[in-house]
Amino acid sequence: MGGPLVRAASAARPPPLGASPVFRAESVDADQTTRNNNHPLATNSPASPARTRTDVSARYGEWIPWDVDGLPRGSHELSDEEVDEIMEFENQVALVTGAAGAIGKAIAMRLVQEGARVFISDLDQARLDAICAELGPNCRGLAADVTDQVQVRRVVQAALAAPNNRIDVLINVAGLVGKGGPVEEMSLENWESVFAVNCRGTFLFTKEVVPLMKRSGRGSIVNFSSKSGKTGSALMSAYSAAKAAVIGFTQALAFELAPTIRVNCVCPGITEDTGVWSNVSADYVQNLKLPMPEVVKKFTSKVPLGRLARIDDVVNLTCFLASTRADYMTGQAINVTGGREMH
């Protein structure tokens, strides 16, 4: 290995997307060679970040998500080994669904920070455009309904417009809680919509990406279940059943796709600063006439670690499972619940 690298205190975050267009499905039909050579992420494109160790250190200095050896953020030296650890996903292509949500966006951000070229999808193109502008030229996105096979296929084809024509990592975050309530009052429409997003969406993206991973000889898939997929939640039978199905799907694929492709599952508990928490806590405030501090206390009273999950807790596990650091792990459904769920 070479000598240490200096991380500049003034290192700027990668430039915003600006006027560069987000991928559109119609671009997939362009000539393959021309598309790859002109694509902003292509290695021979003027917009592509340099990939030398020094340039990585300078470009991502302020984005490094933790302090190295306890040193404060700012100007200090990074060894090649430390850069390798920080840039875990360098030169990899990752596809993240549900990326307009708090957790999906945070995962996409971490992957970009660690060197990946990331393609994101969700329902709202304007929201995706804003996220891409925030995360810089290594993030692109295309809106799609995860329950629609044609739209899913367009997203996967658009992601392949990045160099190397491959997808190394698939993270299926997209999900739907649906309306809770007694099973006898639940509509068939609600039941089917919850299963469509959580199960069909996960299936469709996996179905499209697996052949690509087989072709390249490697891949990592991380699906999103829930604590409710391990131990069902009262008045949330559709969501609990759908998330349990995601775990079963994950485990079946782990056997089916080994040793080429690893498939694992993240099972978060209630997580702060997410749409799920906002909806659940608002329901408790309204229906039980409890002030918010009491709602938080109600949820955390059964958590051994005494707090709700944080988004970073979920992101840390997700990116670990997606990375080569988890190369001997497949078929696992791992809880992020502070001990609330232990099986």
Residue 321 in domain: yes
Residue 68 in domain: no
Residue pLDDT, tens place only, 134-147: 999 999 999 999 99
Residue pLDDT, tens place only, 230-275: 999 888 899 999 999 999 999 999 999 999 999 999 999 988 868 6
Residue 322 in domain: yes
Q: Please give the mean pLDDT across all residues of the chain.
A: 80
Number of domains in the chain: 1
Residue 30 or 85, more confident: 85
Q: Tell me, what's the pLDDT at 299?
A: 79
> Which residue among the candidates 60, 239, 284, 328 is catalytic per the annotation?
239
User: Measured in Å, how far apart are the chain's first and last C-alpha atoms?
Assistant: 42
Q: Tell me, what's the pLDDT at 49?
A: 42
Q: Tell me, what's the pLDDT at 18?
A: 30
Residue 256 in domain: yes
Residue 69 in domain: no
Q: Which two tokens stand for residue 336?
A: 């992020």
Residue 233 in domain: yes
Q: Tell me, what's the pLDDT at 226?
A: 96
Q: Tell me, what's the pLDDT at 77?
A: 58
Say yes or no to pLDDT of 314 above 70. Answer: yes
pTM of the model: 0.77
| Range of lowest pLDDT (49-63, 117-131, 209-223, 297-311) | 49-63
Encoded amino acid at 231, one letter: T
Q: Look at the chain and count its residues.
A: 343
Number of Cβ within a 10 Å radius of residue 176: 19
* Active site annotation includes 60: no
Residue 76 or 4, more confident: 76
CATH number of residue 295's parent domain = 3.40.50.720
In 3-state terms, the chain is what percent helix, strand and coil (to 5)?
A: 45, 15, 40
Structural domain harbouring 158:
17-48+88-336
Residue 166 or 284, more confident: 166
Task: Please give the share of the chain, as a percent, with pLDDT higher than 90.
Answer: 59
Q: Which two tokens stand for residue 153?
A: 């296929």
Residue 92 in domain: yes
Q: What is the DSSP string of 12-60?
A: PPPPP-TTPPPP-GGGGGS-HHHHHHHSTTSTTSTTSPP-SHHHHHHHH
| Nearest of 133, 134, 108, 112 to residue 121 by alpha carbon | 108
Residue pLDDT, tens place only, 40-74: 333 333 333 434 444 444 444 444 444 444 444 45
Which helix (H) or strand (E) segment holds residue 133: the answer is helix 125-135
Residue 9 in domain: no
Q: Mean pLDDT throughout 27-42?
A: 33
